[in-house]
Amino acid sequence: MTEAYKAAKNELDQRRRIAEEETERRRVEISTKFPEILRLERNILNTSIEISKAICAHRGNISELIEQLKNENLLNQQKIKALLTSFGYPSDYLLPKYTCERCKDTGFVSGRRCGCFDRLINKYSIIQISKNCHIKLSDFSDFKAEYYPNTPDSNGINPQEKMKMLRDYCKKYTDSFSKDSPSLFMLGKTGLGKTFISSCMAKELILSGRNVAFDSVQNFLVKIQNEQFGRDTGNTLEVLNDADLVILDDLGSEFNSTVFNSVLYNIINNRINLERPMIVSTNLSLSELKEKYDDRIISRLLSFEPLRFFGVDIRQVMLKLKNR
């Protein structure tokens, strides 16, 4: 049993326990205030017992007796609802309020796993992926504009101003994030802050309750391959389909193989078909990407909203400042 399965099962058990404890609390409240409702509930219970006894004893016309007892039950239930309404309570006040009415928070329907259970397993799988991610999550407040040149480059672009605008755009993207948010394609040379900005977005969205799958392309692909060959448990492909946001960092650093390219295509294509946003970052230029990947992957990446990073390697700037 995987950690995600255990965590999902524990949440279902907790949901069911809370629903049943709350139902019992309401039952005690009502029985104290309105004992006639408690009497009707006992009648329903006794009727159910009588049905069981009749079936076991094979006495009389079983079908007629069961039908009669069922009608009595329905009548008592209607009386309870009418009394509750007359006392100012909802007619279903004494019924358990499960999070999932389909499976009653058991996780199973007719012996098959309920969709709510599958969604919880994927939720905890994404949380596990985030925990195992080797990328440190950062804050937008840690962004240092002064690390970027404040003079125009050879193309007349001021990197500091451009990066301030990009930071503001990504913060706004995070604050207003929804399933309809566009997918982003971050491009720029190494050390310009693509991973940092992505980690800021991931952290804020995770703290707001969103399911974010964030890691390097290499790590995701290796895990998926290990799962396919039975060397690891889980279903990372399904998790990447279900996450609110998928962030694939450092595209192009992974091993170049037909299998990896096929899996990468499936990840990107599935997200597009499901109309769910993702963020992909790369240190490669467009010409380098075209040499490494086939047209199917390139065309899909170019359909994303491009975010171009400018400046010089921040790590080198930080090192120089540290050594002053």
- pLDDT per position as a tens digit, 257-285: 888 999 999 999 999 999 999 999 999 99
Please give the Cα distance from 61 to 69 (Å, whole number): 12
pLDDT of residue 1 exceeding 50, the answer is no
pTM, two decimals, is: 0.67
Give every CB contact of residue 256 below 8 A, 6+ residues apart in sequence.
292
Scanning the chain, the segments in alpha helix (DSSP H) are: 3-33, 35-57, 62-86, 115-132, 159-175, 194-207, 217-228, 236-242, 258-273, 286-292, 295-301, 314-322
Q: Are 119 and 128 in contact (CB under 8 A)?
A: no
Give every CB contact of residue 231 below 8 A, 6+ residues apart in sequence.
none
Q: Which helix (H) or strand (E) holds 90?
A: none
Burial of 50 (0-12, 13-18, 19+ CB in 10 A): middle
Please count the other Cβ atoms lying within 10 Å of the Cβ belonging to residue 316.
11
Judged by average pLDDT, the poorest of 9-23, 138-152, 174-188, 223-237 is 223-237
- Which has more confidence, 256 or 100? 100
pLDDT of residue 311 exceeding 60, the answer is yes
Judged by average pLDDT, the poorest of 37-51, 85-99, 111-125, 216-230 is 37-51
Residue that is written with structure tokens 């809370």 in the block: 18
* Six-digit token string for 56: 């076991």
* Six-digit token string for 202: 């991931």
- pLDDT per position as a tens digit, 24-75: 998 888 888 888 887 887 777 777 676 666 666 665 566 776 777 777 778 8
Q: How far is CA 21 from CA 18, 25, 27, 41, 162, in A?
A: 5, 6, 10, 18, 56
- Domains annotated for the chain, with CATH where assigned, are 18-100 (no CATH), 133-322 (3.40.50.300)
Could you tell me how many residues make up the chain?
A: 324
Single out the residue of 107, 111, 91 nearest to residue 99, CA to CA: 107
Q: What is the DSSP letter of 95?
A: S
